[in-house]
Structure 1
Amino acid sequence: MTSLLDRPVPHRTADLTLRRGAVRVLLDNWTGHSTVPSRTLYPHQWSWDSAFIAIGLRHLSVRRAQQELETLLSAQWTDGRIPHIVFNPAVPNDAYFPSPDFWRSSTCGRTSGAPAAPETSGIVQPPVHALAAWLVHHTDPEESRRRAFLNRVLPRLTAWHDYLLDRRDLGGGGLAAVIHPWEPGMDNSPCWDQALQRVVPAAADAFRRADLDHGHPADRPTDLDYGRYVRLVADYRNTGYDDRSGRHTFAVEDPSFNALLIAGEHALAAMAEETGADPAPHTARAEELTHHLVTRLWDDDAGTFRVRDLTTDTLVDEHSVTGLIPLLAPRLPRHIVNRLAQTLGSPRFTAPATRLVPSYALTGHAFNAQRYWRGPAWFNTAWLIHRGLRTHNLHHSAEHLRQGFLGEAEHSGFAEYIDPTTGAARGARNFSWTAALALDLLSADLKEPTP
């Protein structure tokens, strides 16, 4: 049998080392049924990580990419939510916090539809999954049809989007809200600071941070941040993870999260058409979501999308990478695309040491070049922006970003993220989504159609 490491993939000779390194990371982080983001810092299965990982795995083994997604979907709650962590029962509780015994999904989440097993978290992450599933199918449609892959995942992915557009429309404006900073995936972004000020942190002795066993404190969220994260989880857990019971102390509409939902609805439309179902409901939802995204979150003066704080019903005055990712939406008005491209090329997001996009404006008052989502440049957001640029035929900018991504991935040892002012690798090394998305940018047909 041919090794995955030796599976032929189109590449230039100069890319061979990078490709083999990316494959090695994915093989080393494979658990037998899914891929961990990092063997040290993140020892379980993470939701949007697995979607990005499947996008890369499809170039090695379509079957394994399908399994990555279906393993995640097997832990879906009956209300439709896909939890942000699926816990591996073989990993000790003290290896990661919050651990399964803190979330207590199978008991506290029973009335909201949590499975009896495996244990999961109770919150969600950005909806990259439908896009990932469509790309996996598109890589080898015959294999996908033979295994009825889309027929299995389409109902689950539709239920996932239904959950977000129903249970999570907390603002009543047609967009999905997030109720914890971990849900949009950009944990300690300055975009959440205003809303987090209203959260009373949990006592310092109420939790022990396992992340500091493997990550430098200068890179990670602060203890105060974690105290607030823990408080929000505990309060949500104590409601039985019921989105409609009580008042959410933290509730915002995030541009990136909703842009991914739009991209996902287009992917669901393509999957519906492929399986003989009616794509029109998904196409209509994508158009409605795009309208609501522009109406509720676009700031023309700033040239970016903003986060909306639902408690105050105001836009948050911060410049973050989340405001640029809506380039993914294929039906954005052209003047908004042009303004986003200008913002992307402005001093706010043009880093001195990398072509990747800083997670927060270099000129912003809260910029920190090392601390997690308060400035460092991330590979997954670069991949999303690259795809958005291609979606709108901004191919020169897309190729510039692609080349920077590949160079940084190799030089950093597939780091979790990059210091945008020095180019230094930060966070975990041999990070799965960095390797997977590098492999995708090396291997994918850049003329691949956008659903």
Structure 2
Amino acid sequence: MPPDRGSRRSSLLRSRLPQEGRRVTSLLDRPAPTAPADLTLRRGAARVLIDNWTGVSTVPSRTLYPHQWSWDSAFIAIGLRHLSARRAQQELESLLNAQWADGRIPHIVFNPAVAHSAYFPSPDFWQSSHAGRKSGAPAATETSGIVQPPVHALAAWLVHLTDPAESRRRGFLPRVLPRLTAWHDYLLGRRDLGGGGLAAVVHPWEPGMDNSPCWDTALHRIQPSAPSGFRRADLHHGHPADRPTDLDYGRYVRLAADYREAGYDDRTARFAFAVEDPSFNALLIVSEWALAAMAQELAMPGRRHTERAGRLTRALVDRLWDEEARIFRVRDLHDDRPVAERSVSGLIPLVVPHLPDQVIHGLRATLTGPHFDAPTGGLVPSYDLTGPAFDATRYWRGPAWFNTSWLIERGLRTHGLACEADRIRTSFLGQAEQSGFAEYIDPSTGTGRGAQNFSWTAALTLDLLSDRTEPPL
């Protein structure tokens, strides 16, 4: 953005935003905390979040993603807390207001002011208030029927720690703790489809890594919906070479439609796609530790959550760790076998505290080895650089994403691997600035791909620029 245009926009924002918004934009006027370059980057990241704020939540992108997305909002709150703890709380609370009675947090909360044609699958496809009625879908808010990774409790705990006085004044933790506990109960109850103690995902969109090669074998069993049966709004805002193919999209639509026809009921649905994903379960473990910390803060028993975190960690290692390959594998529950592909999902468990030493050392070796050490350095590719399905530009089949790299950076620090963490942090901040806060980058060239001014990229930039002194979980 040219400086003169940015200056005009900043002034315009100040004139339009209410008092709380003006407190957020006050960051733009603060003196440099360290170097002027850091302040410029901080201002740019703050401006992205201000521009993408809708009044109750933040859209991932004004073009490609015009509604509220579940794990996006969690990452956004982690960054927003450095601008306004109150707004970060509101980000999470607006999402939780759409929670289903069975505990699930839907992966999209639809804005009724946005035309159905702006995004597909739209509310008229999901039909949540009607098709999901018996599963507890809210009657007054349209959502999707599937979920996304459970990073929300971690986000809520970090938001609380940023301004505990404001959190206590507003009763933030007492409000969100029961809802987040119900969310985890849903995942560990109705979604333990493999019987091994881990949560399963039943659609490729649920782990957040939409068309990862890890899903290819399972997806090949799915009869796709005909292209005439759906309309792809994503291709209006992204190059087809960067997006999932029509064939894959047809399979996504088929799986979602079948789940809808089953009333989104996990007890009766017959899942043609069901896998245990290491990243999804790692985030569930970390969020269980966060729930334990919240309970302790509220002088409530937290033992249930620490015990669940321990059981989940053991199950994660027992079921998904590949000692020879030194990475966590996806497990396909159709044949109860690990998937051969290496993806960034298998590295994200670094974020889990109390991992066995051999697992930590193995993940470190894989991260810095030929499979994931990208030519640009730092940001972690979403898929094995040497793998047969690697594609440097196609969605989740190779590009490096900022949110997954943030998780790995956090995991490295959790286990005292500061040098490797510093390398990711330096690359993250440089690539975020150079790419215009892109959705993701080409790991071979560093070129920004997907949407620009992407909210979680900006939010996590703010987090890495800030003094993160919160105690470990």
Q: Per the shorter chain, which TM-score range?
A: over 0.9
Q: Distance in 2 between matches of 1:225 and 1:275?
A: 46
User: Do residues 420 (structure 1) and 455 (structure 2) align?
Assistant: no
Q: Distance in 1 between matches of 2:144 and 2:83?
A: 30
Deviations 1:265-319 (A, max 9, x none): 0000000000111011000000000000000000000000000000010000001
Q: Could you tell me which residue of structure 2 aligns to residue 4 of structure 1? A: 24
Q: Could you tell me which residue of structure 2 aligns to residue 357 of structure 1? A: 380
Q: Could you tell me which residue of structure 2 aligns to residue 95 of structure 1? A: 118
Deviations 1:115-146 (A, max 9, x none): 00210000000001000000000001111011
User: Do residues 153 (structure 1) and 176 (structure 2) align?
Assistant: yes
Secondary structure class of the residue paired with 1:177: coil
Secondary structure class of the residue paired with 1:178: coil
User: Do residues 77 (structure 1) and 97 (structure 2) align?
Assistant: no
Q: Could you tell me which residue of structure 2 aligns to residue 86 of structure 1? A: 109
Q: Could you tell me which residue of structure 2 aligns to residue 21 of structure 1? A: 44
Secondary structure class of the residue paired with 2:240: coil
Q: Could you tell me which residue of structure 1 aligns to residue 83 of structure 2? A: 60
Secondary structure class of the residue paired with 2:369: coil
Q: Distance in 2 between matches of 1:352 and 1:407?
A: 15
Q: Distance in 2 between matches of 1:6 and 1:176?
A: 42
Structure 1 residues 3 and 348, CA gap change in structure 2 (3 angstroms): same
User: Do residues 165 (structure 1) and 185 (structure 2) align?
Assistant: no
What amino acid does structure 1 have at the position aligned with 2:445? T
Q: Could you tell me which residue of structure 2 aligns to residue 448 of structure 1? A: 470
Q: Distance in 2 between matches of 1:417 and 1:54?
A: 19
Q: Distance in 2 between matches of 1:336 and 1:315?
A: 17
Indicate the percent of aligned positions where both proteins have the same amino acid: 73
Q: Could you tell me which residue of structure 2 aligns to residue 42 of structure 1? A: 65
Q: CA deviation at 1:448?
A: 2.3
Q: Could you tell me which residue of structure 1 aligns to residue 11 of structure 2? A: none
CA contact (8 A) 2:98 2:109 kept: yes
State which of 370, 373, 390 in structure 1 corresponds to 2:396. 373
Q: Distance in 2 between matches of 1:21 and 1:437?
A: 12
Deviations 1:64-122 (A, max 9, x none): 00000000000000000000000000000000000000000000000000000210000
Deviations 1:366-404 (A, max 9, x none): 000000100000000000000100100101111111010
What amino acid does structure 1 have at the position aligned with 2:188? L
Q: CA deviation at 1:3?
A: 4.2
CA contact (8 A) 1:259 1:326 kept: yes
What amino acid does structure 1 have at the position aligned with 2:397? R
Secondary structure class of the residue paired with 2:114: coil
Q: Which moved more, 1:330-339 or 1:4-13?
A: 4-13
Q: Could you tell me which residue of structure 2 aligns to residue 235 of structure 1? A: 258
Q: Distance in 2 between matches of 1:278 and 1:94?
A: 47
Q: Distance in 2 between matches of 1:376 and 1:10?
A: 32
Q: Could you tell me which residue of structure 1 aligns to residue 15 of structure 2? A: none
Q: Distance in 2 between matches of 1:301 and 1:95?
A: 46
Q: CA deviation at 1:444?
A: 3.4
Q: Superposition RMSD on alpha carbons, in Å?
A: 0.9
Q: Distance in 1 between matches of 2:180 and 2:238?
A: 34
CA contact (8 A) 1:348 1:363 kept: yes
Q: How does 1:220-299 map to 2 (within 5 A)?
A: 220-299=243-322
Secondary structure class of the residue paired with 1:195: helix
Unaligned runs of 5+ in 2: 1-18
Secondary structure class of the residue paired with 1:261: helix
Q: Distance in 2 between matches of 1:120 and 1:158?
A: 20
What amino acid does structure 2 have at the position aligned with 1:64? R
CA contact (8 A) 2:158 2:470 kept: no
Q: Could you tell me which residue of structure 2 aligns to residue 143 of structure 1? A: 166
CA contact (8 A) 1:354 1:408 kept: no
State which of 362, 370, 375 in structure 2 corresponds to 1:339. 362
What amino acid does structure 2 have at the position aligned with 1:34? S
Q: Could you tell me which residue of structure 2 aligns to residue 127 of structure 1? A: 150
Q: Distance in 1 between matches of 2:209 and 2:138?
A: 27
CA contact (8 A) 2:33 2:39 kept: no
What amino acid does structure 2 have at the position aligned with 1:169? D
What amino acid does structure 2 have at the position aligned with 1:4? V
Q: Distance in 2 between matches of 1:320 and 1:444?
A: 30
What amino acid does structure 2 have at the position aligned with 1:450? P
Q: Could you tell me which residue of structure 2 aligns to residue 411 of structure 1? A: 434
Q: CA deviation at 1:12?
A: 2.8
CA contact (8 A) 1:328 1:385 kept: yes
Q: Distance in 2 between matches of 1:448 and 1:83?
A: 29
Q: Distance in 2 between matches of 1:368 and 1:317?
A: 17
Structure 1 outlier segments of 4+, above 3 Å: 8-11
Q: Distance in 1 between matches of 2:367 and 2:74?
A: 25
Q: Could you tell me which residue of structure 2 aligns to residue 429 of structure 1? A: 452
Q: Distance in 1 between matches of 2:344 and 2:185?
A: 26
Q: Could you tell me which residue of structure 2 aligns to residue 183 of structure 1? A: 206
Q: Distance in 1 between matches of 2:39 and 2:380?
A: 25
User: Do residues 314 (structure 1) and 337 (structure 2) align?
Assistant: yes
Q: Distance in 1 between matches of 2:471 and 2:418?
A: 14
What amino acid does structure 2 have at the position aligned with 1:272? A
CA contact (8 A) 2:376 2:446 kept: yes
- The aligned length equals 450
Q: Could you tell me which residue of structure 1 aligns to residue 228 of structure 2? A: 205
What amino acid does structure 2 have at the position aligned with 1:311? H
Q: CA deviation at 1:6?
A: 2.6
Secondary structure class of the residue paired with 2:241: coil
Q: Distance in 2 between matches of 1:352 and 1:400?
A: 13
What amino acid does structure 2 have at the position aligned with 1:223? D
Q: Distance in 1 between matches of 2:378 and 2:164?
A: 34
CA contact (8 A) 2:399 2:440 kept: yes
Q: Distance in 1 between matches of 2:134 and 2:127?
A: 12
Q: Distance in 2 between matches of 1:316 and 1:324?
A: 15
